[in-house]
Amino acid sequence: MEEIIARGAESIILKTERWNRIFVLKWRQSKPYLFRDIDSQLRKTRTSRECKMLSVARALGVSTPAVYAVDLDDYTILMDYIEGSQFKQIANSLPKNQLKKFCSEFGTSIALLHQGDVVHGDPTTSNVIIDSKSKLWLVDFGLSEMNATVEMKGVDLHLIHRALETTHWDLQECMLEATIKGYSDTIGEEAKDALARMEEIRERGRYH
Amino acid sequence: MVLFCLGLEGTAHSFGAGVVTDEGKVLSNEWDMLKPEQGGIHPREASRHHSDLGPKIILTAIEKAGINFSDINLIAFSRGPGLGPCLRTTATMARTLALKLDVPLVDVNHCVAHIEIGCLESEFNDPVTVYVSGGNSQVIAFAGGRFRTFGETLDIAIGNMLDVLGRELGMGFPAGPIIEKLANEGSNFHNLPYSVKGMDLSYSGMLTAAKKLFSEGVPIPDICFSVQETAFGMLAEIAERAIAHTKKQELLLTGGVARNNRLTEILKGVSERHSTKFHRVSPSLAGDQGAMIAWNGILQFKAGHTIGISNSHVLPKWRTDEQDILWRA
C-alpha cells in the first residue's frame, strides 16, 4: 500500500506500510530539465544531508521524524509518519493564543538548532507539523547545514520572516512577534546578533 | 469610447514610450537602451540618455500609434522601483504631458507592470511569475490582494551577474546573449556553488567561482555553459517551490532575461512536472518598455486610481508587495 500524501517541489511524500507499521517514504525524483550532473548531485547530497540532519536536530532537542532506511541509488528516505497537519494549513483557523503558542514553539525549535550551530535552511510553516497531541515537529532538512555562522542564522530568520509575509500576510505581525519571542527567550542575549543580521539581510534586498 | 493611454518607462538603462488602448491593444511600443562603451550603467548618464532621447521616442510612439496628442486620455509612468535620476527624468516628462494635455496621471509599479503585460499577452489569470532582468530576479505570485515576492535573490540579480561575468570575460554589454550563444559550444561542466536558501537564492558565490575558473584557464564556452546550467537550475528550483507552495496553475516568464532560450526550456520543464501552463513573454514586451506601463495605467485608472502631480514623487525602492492591487480585488 502506497499513497501520495504530498507532492513537493523536489520530492514526493508517500505513506507506506512496512513491517506492519505506517511510514513516510520521501522520494527525490529526477528533474529531467536540469543538467544531469547537477540533478544527481542535488538528489544525492540532499538525501544524505537530510538523513544526517534529522538526527542532529533531534540530538539538539527538536522533534523530528526518525530515519529507518535510506537508499542513495533511488534517493529515498524511510522515516516516521507524523499524524497531523502542516502548521501552514491550520494557522488561520487557530485561536490567537494557540497560534502564538505554536509560533513561540516554532521559534524555540529554531533557537535550539541555532544554539547547536545548525540552520534549517527552509524554515517555512509548511515544514512544521502539528500532531494530534498538539506537539510540534520540524521536517524537511534537505537544505539544513551544520557549523552555521551568524550570517547563516540570519538567513534562516529572514526566511521565516519572508514565509510569514507571503503565506500568512494577515497574521504576519502577530506570528513574527511570537516566533521571535520564542527564539529570543531560548537563546537569551546572544539572539541579538542573529536578529540584527536578519534585519540587515532584509535591508540588503534591492527594495527595502 | 476607447481609452488611449501613453505609458512612459524609465527605471534604468532603457527609456520607452508606448500607447495601449483599454481593449488591451498595443498600438506602439518604442524604446532605446543605453549601451555604455565600457563598464556598467551610471545612473546620471542613463538619466541624461532619457532626457536626450525621451521626447523623440514619445513623438515616434504617438505617430506609430496613428493618433494625436489630443487623443490621449491618460498618462502612466514608472514611479519605481529603479534608479533615482532615471525615475525623476521620466516622471518629469509624464507630469509635464499630463498638465499640458490636461489628462489624469497614473503612477505604475514597474515590477507589477511586467506581470500584467505578461498576463495580457498570455491570457493568464493568476500565474507564478519568474521576473528576471538586469536588476531583478524575483518569483512573484498574487496572494491576499497584493503581488507578493515569494523568492528573490539575496544579493545580485541574474542579469547583473551575467553582465559582470561577461565584462570579466571580455564581452560587451549586454553580455547575456553572448553568454547564451557561447554556452551552446560548451561541453565540459564545472561545478559551481549552487545556492538556494528556502525560496531565495544567491549568485555572488557562483560569480566569484566562475571568475576563478576563467583565471585558471577554463575555456570560456565551458564557463558560460556551467554558469547557465547552474544559475538557471537555481531559478527553476525556486520557481518550482513557489508553484508547489501556492498550487497555482500558470507559470509566466518575463523580464529581459526571458529572452534566453535555455532558461525558457528549463522553466518549461518545471511547468511540465507540475502540469501548469507556461508562457514566455515575447521579447518586445518582456524587456523594459512603455506598453506595459500604459497597460497597467489603464488597469489602475479603471479601478479608480490616479495620482495628483504634487504627490507623484518617485519611489526608487518601491517594493512589489507594497501596492494594493485594486483591479484584481
Q: How many CB pairs under 8 A join A and B?
A: 98
Q: Which of B288, B239, B257, B253 is nearest to B179 (CA)?
A: B257
pLDDT score, position A208: 47
Residue A31: list chain B partners with CB under 8 A: 236, 269, 273
pLDDT score, position A142: 95
CA B25 to chain A, closest CA, distance in angstroms equals: 31
Respond yes or no on whether ipTM tops 0.85.
yes
Residue ranges of chain A assigned to CATH 1.10.510.10:
84-204
Q: Tell me the per-residue pLDDT of A155-206, one tens digit each, with 9 for 90 and over.
A: 999 999 999 999 999 999 999 999 999 999 999 998 999 999 999 998 876 5
CB contact under 8 A, A33 and B266: yes
CA A20 to chain B, closest CA, distance in angstroms equals: 31
**Mean pLDDT computed over A96-124:** 97
SS3 A88: helix
What CATH number labels A2-80? 3.30.200.20
pLDDT score, position A207: 58
Residue B230: list chain A partners with CB under 8 A: 38
Cross-chain CB nearest to A166 (options B143, B155, B269): B143
B255 in Cβ contact with B132 (< 8 Å): yes
pLDDT score, position B153: 94
CB contact under 8 A, B273 and A33: yes
Residue B241: list chain A partners with CB under 8 A: 9-10
Residue ranges of chain A assigned to CATH 3.30.200.20:
2-80
State how far the Cα of A37 lies from the Cα of A6, in Å rounded to an integer.
26
CB contact under 8 A, B245 and A205: no
For residue A48, what is its C-alpha cell?
A: 544524505
pLDDT along chain B (329 residues), means of 10: 96 96 97 84 93 97 97 98 96 98 98 97 97 93 94 93 95 92 96 94 96 97 98 96 93 96 97 96 94 98 96 94 91
pTM for the full predicted model: 0.93
B234 in Cβ contact with B151 (< 8 Å): no
pLDDT at A123 over 90: yes
Q: What distances in angstroms separate CA A155 from CA A146, A197, B133, B200, one per listed residue? A: 14, 8, 24, 10
Q: Which residues of A are catalytic?
A: 122
State how far the Cα of B94 lies from the Cα of A117, in Å rounded to an integer.
53
Task: Go through the domains of chain B in sequence order and give each one's CATH number.
Answer: 4-109+288-328 (3.30.420.40), 115-285 (3.30.420.40)
Q: Tell me the per-residue pLDDT of A140-158, one tens digit each, with 9 for 90 and over.
A: 999 999 999 999 999 999 9
B75 in Cβ contact with B289 (< 8 Å): no
CB contact under 8 A, B197 and A205: no
CB contact under 8 A, B230 and A121: no
Residue A208: list chain B partners with CB under 8 A: 317, 319
CA B171 to chain A, closest CA, distance in angstroms equals: 25
What is the sign of the dihedral through the CA atoms of A154, A155, A156 and A161? positive
Write the class of the CATH domain A84-204: mainly alpha
